[in-house]
């Protein structure tokens, strides 16, 4: 296994492609967005977690290249699918990107290839959806191919845990495939954990992020209690965390965004309903999370009396501090709710800079209210002067 194709060059695919190239594999990264492919080939990184230098080094070494054209790819040994798995408008699992990836790689598959899915999916998807889809589109019987599922564990901007040192879960359709998958990842990942089935690995990934969704949504409910009771939620958490066992710190926020936590649990919830074992915790946590922008809109209205024609500055539009990622950001819902109430809303985020066809507005003291939605370290709150501040991370 020497030639690798990574399908999807975003926050998951690009770090994997770069790490595989550094370890000696010949890697081609494929992204249907030609602008991303061209950017990478010119030595520029489209994501913050990978530097331009890292990209340029691998491009220059000829161990890595990017393309948007599948026709120029041949003799690939390992295909790693790292495409998005979002939700439909009905908030159901959307496998459109996986389907398209399979349709594009199928003509260049050969007997003995290893196909690894890293995208988050419902339990049973690799076995019951991906493998039959590959067989159907490639015309190759599954017994002549290898299939594996290895869920991504990327946390953008995390300085302590990255692709190489985060334990990697792997699973495969058959024992031989598991060994090949282990050999592939072990060249650039330090710790690999073998799962006994595809479904174990798929469910483990969903459990990880369902755990976080439920606990963050719960702490947001405690936040609302503390706000009503006029005590500081952060001090409550700090004191609870002095217990050396049985407690884990979670912190309140405007809501949960990003490519995992607001989405992945609903893949588990959907499967649970399908097999007649509905998950009430996930559904309730999802509801609490999606209602947080409404809650803070109400808080803003209480502070100002009413929001009609009030000038409001929202600080931070990314889904988490110190990143430029706006996927599933709850700030969008907050702004829409404020505008429904008649408020005139600007936003400031010099990390994101451009969003929804608008540019980041400068901070000043001419607003009726400022809402700290995503607290980037670079913010200088002195710029808003005496403007009242609603901090979505603390209750007083």
List the catalytic residues. 260
| b/e code 363-378 from CB counts within 10 Å (16+ = b) | beeebbbbbbbbbbee
Reduced to 3 states (helix: H, G, I; strand: E, B; else coil), residue 24 is coil
* Dihedral sign (CA 232, 237, 238, 243): positive
Of the candidates 347, 324, 325, the one whose C-alpha atom is nearest the C-alpha of residue 336 is: 347
**Residue 148 host element (H or E):** strand 146-149
User: Tokens 């755990």 correspond to what residue?
Assistant: 211
User: Tokens 């946390």 correspond to what residue?
Assistant: 155
Quick one: tokens of 106?
């199928």
Residue 51 CB coordination number (10 Å): 13
| b/e code 151-177 from CB counts within 10 Å (16+ = b) | bbbbbbeeeeeebeebebbbbbbeeeb
């Amino acid at each position: 296994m020497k030639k690798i194709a990574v399908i999807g060059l975003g926050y998951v695919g690009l770090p994997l492609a770069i790490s595989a190239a550094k370890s000696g594999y010949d890697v081609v990264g494929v992204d249907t967005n030609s602008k991303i492919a061209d950017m990478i080939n010119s030595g520029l990184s489209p994501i913050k977690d990978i530097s331009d230098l890292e990209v340029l080094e691998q491009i220059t070494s000829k161990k890595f290249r990017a393309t948007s054209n599948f026709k120029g790819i041949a003799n690939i040994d390992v295909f790693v699918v790292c495409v998005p798995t979002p939700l439909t408008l009905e908030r159901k699992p959307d496998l459109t990107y996986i389907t398209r990836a399979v349709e594009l790689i199928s003509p260049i598959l050969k007997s003995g290839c290893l196909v690894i899915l890293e995208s988050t999916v419902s339990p049973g998807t690799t076995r019951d959806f991906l493998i039959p889809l590959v067989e159907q589109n490639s015309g190759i019987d599954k017994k002549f191919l290898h299939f594996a599922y290895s869920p991504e564990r990327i946390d953008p901007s995390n300085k302590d845990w990255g692709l190489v040192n985060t334990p990697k879960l792997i699973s495969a359709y058959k024992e031989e495939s598991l060994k090949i998958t282990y050999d592939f990842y072990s060249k650039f990942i330090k710790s690999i954990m073998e799962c006994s089935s595809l479904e174990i690995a798929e469910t483990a990934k969903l459990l990880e992020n369902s755990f976080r969704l439920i606990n963050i949504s719960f702490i947001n409910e405690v936040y609302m209690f503390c706000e009503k009771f006029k005590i500081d939620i952060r001090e409550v958490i700090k004191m609870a965390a002095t217990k050396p066992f049985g407690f884990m710190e979670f912190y309140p926020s405007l809501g949960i965004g990003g490519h995992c936590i607001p989405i992945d649990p609903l893949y588990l919830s959907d499967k649970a309903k399908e097999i007649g074992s509905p998950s009430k915790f996930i559904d309730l946590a999802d509801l609490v999370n999606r209602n947080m922008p409404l809650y803070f809109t109400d808080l803003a209205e209480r502070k100002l009396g009413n929001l009609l024609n009030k000038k409001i500055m929202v600080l931070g539009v990314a889904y988490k501090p110190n990143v430029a990622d706006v996927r599933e950001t709850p700030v969008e819902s907050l702004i829409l709710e404020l505008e429904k109430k008649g408020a005139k809303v600007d936003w400031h985020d010099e990390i994101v800079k451009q969003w929804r066809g608008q540019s980041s507005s400068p901070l000043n003291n001419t607003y009726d209210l400022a809402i700290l939605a995503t607290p980037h370290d670079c913010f200088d709150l002195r710029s808003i002067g005496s403007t009242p501040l609603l901090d979505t991370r603390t209750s007083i």
